[in-house]
Chain A
Amino acid sequence: MMHPSTDPLTPSAAPKKQVFALGLLSGGLDSMLAARLLMEQGIRVECVNFYTGFCIQGHTGAMRNPEPDARPARHDALHAAQLLGIKLHLVDIAEEYVRIVTDPKHGYGSNLNPCLDCKIFMVARAWSMKERLGFDFLFTGEVLGQRPMSQRRENLPHIEREAGVEGWLLRPLCATRLKATEPEKLGWVDRQRLRGFSGRGRKPQMALAEQFGLRDYPSPAGGCCFLTDVNYSRKLQDLWHFRGEKAYTMEDIVLLKAGRHLRPAPRFKVIVGRDETENRFLSGFREGRWAIHATELAGPLMLVEGQPDDEDLTLACRLAARFGQGRHLPQVLLTVERHGQQQTRLVTPLPAAEIPPEWYL
C-alpha cells in the first residue's frame, strides 16, 4: 500500500488548484483592498472596469482650463491595477447601459443613479466573461451598509440572485458578516483572513491600506459616476423631458458634462463655454447645432440645441454677448453658424437681471 502522502489519488498529494478570481475594480480604495486581501492568500487576481459613459475620470480636467493645484487627470482603475500588479480588462458597456439608465427595474437613488440595477448589470456582465477568461469566482469591494442603495444588507442577496451568481460573488471586505460563499466552502478562500467591515466609516479601510502599503488611492468623496451628481441629473432630466422620451446618445451625455446650460424656452437650450479649453471642446460638437460667438471680441462659444426660431436665435445671441467681454457695450456683433453657413447679428447684450434663474439647468 502506498503511503498517503505519495498516493496520487489522495487530496494531500494532488497539486493545489491555482484559484483565479475576477474583481470589479473601480480604482477606489475598497476594490483595491478586496483584490489585495485575495492576493495575500495566493489567489490569482485580475479585474474588470466598465465604461458606462457616465464615469468621472478627470473629464472636467480634460474639458476645462486646469486649476493650478488640480491633481493630474488619470484613470483610477488603470492606476490601481498598475499599483497592484494585476491585469485589468477595460470594457465599454456604454451602449448596453442605456437601458439601465432609462428603465431601471429597481428605480433611482437620490438623483438619476440606478445603483442597484447598475451593480446587478455589472456583476452579470463580469460573470459573462467567465468562459473566456476562465476565472473561478467574482469579487467586489463592497462594504455592508456603506452605500444607501446597492450595499444595504437586504439588497446584497438580490444582486447575486438577479445577476445569476448566487454563491459565487465574494465580498472580501465584509465577508465574515455574510453567508459563506462557494469559494469559501470549497476551501479556495480562507474565510478567517477576510474582513467584516460595515458602515460608512473609512478608518478600518485606511488602516488596512496602511498595512498593505497602499497610499496612492483616490479620495472616497470623489464619487465615480455623474448620475449621482444632482446638477448632472437635472440636466439629463431636462433633456428627457423636452425631447419627450427617455433616451440619450453618447454625444448627449458628454455634452451634459461641459459648459453652462440654460433653457430659455421649451424648444431650445444653449450650452455656453466657460473658458478657452471648454470653448475648444464644445467646438467639436457644432455638427447639427447652431454655434454662436462674438465676431470681434473675446467671449464664449455657445451651442444652441433644439428648434429655435429666428427670434430665439436673437435671444441666444444676446445671451452669448452677455457672457462675453462685450457685456457692457451697447451692441455686440455675433457670428451664427450652422451647416457651414454663417451670418452675423448685431445685438444688445442681455442684462443679468433679465436672465431668470430658472433658465439655468
Chain B
Amino acid sequence: MSVADHEKEEPQADLLLDVRRLLCPLPILRAEAAIAPLASGAILAVLATDPGLARDLPAWCSVHGHRFLGLKNQGRELIGWVAKG
C-alpha cells in the first residue's frame, strides 16, 4: 500500500469528505457519492476513523479507475487522497 510520506507535501484537496465515526463500507459509499460530481483529476480528501480505510481506499481506486495519492495517520484518524479518474 502506498502511504503518503510525512516529509512530502500533502495533496491539495478540492473537496474534504468527513466520514469520521462511519463504519465500513459507508466511508467508501460516501466517497463514491462525493467524487461523482467532481471533474476528472480533481482531488478528494477522505477523513475517517475506520482503520479499514487504509486498505479499502486504494482498492476502491483500483476498481474504479481513480488514482490513490496516499494516506496519512493523524492520531486516531486517517486521511486519504484520491484523484478522480
Contact = CB atoms under 8 A, between A and B. Distances in A.
A binds B: yes
Interface of A: 49, 51, 55, 57-59, 61-63, 66, 72-75, 78-79, 81-82, 86-88, 90, 92, 254, 280-281, 284
Nearest to B21: A284
Interface string B21-65: 101111011001000000000000000011110111001101110
A79 to B, nearest CB: 5
A86 B76 CA distance: 32
B51 A82 contact: no
B1 to A, nearest CB: 10
Given A62-B50, A78-B60, A88-B63, A51 B23 contact: no
A140 to B, nearest CB: 20
Contacts of A75: 24-25, 28, 52, 55-56, 59
Given A73-B50, A78-B60, A55 B55 contact: no
Contacts of B49: 62
Given A73-B51, A90-B28, 13 more contacts: A55-B25, A57-B24, A58-B24, A61-B51, A62-B49, A62-B52, A72-B54, A73-B24, A75-B25, A75-B28, A75-B59, A79-B55, A284-B21
B63 A61 contact: no
Contact of B56 (A74, A92, A284): A74
B51 to A, nearest CB: 6
Contacts of B21: 281, 284
Contact count band on B: 20 to 34
B63 A78 contact: yes
Contacts of A81: 59, 63
Nearest to B60: A78
Contacts of B23: 57, 59, 62-63, 254
B29 A90 contact: yes
A51 B33 CA distance: 14
B26 A78 contact: no
B52 A79 contact: no
B59 A74 contact: yes
B71 to A, nearest CB: 13
B63 A57 contact: no
A171 B7 CA distance: 51
30 contacts: A51-B29, A57-B25, A57-B52, A58-B24, A59-B23, A59-B24, A62-B24, A62-B50, A66-B51, A72-B54, A73-B24, A73-B50, A73-B55, A74-B55, A74-B56, A75-B24, A75-B25, A75-B28, A75-B55, A78-B60, A78-B63, A79-B55, A79-B56, A79-B59, A81-B59, A87-B63, A88-B63, A92-B26, A281-B21, A284-B21
A75 B50 CA distance: 11
Contact of B25 (A61, A72, A78, A280): A78
A62 to B, nearest CB: 5
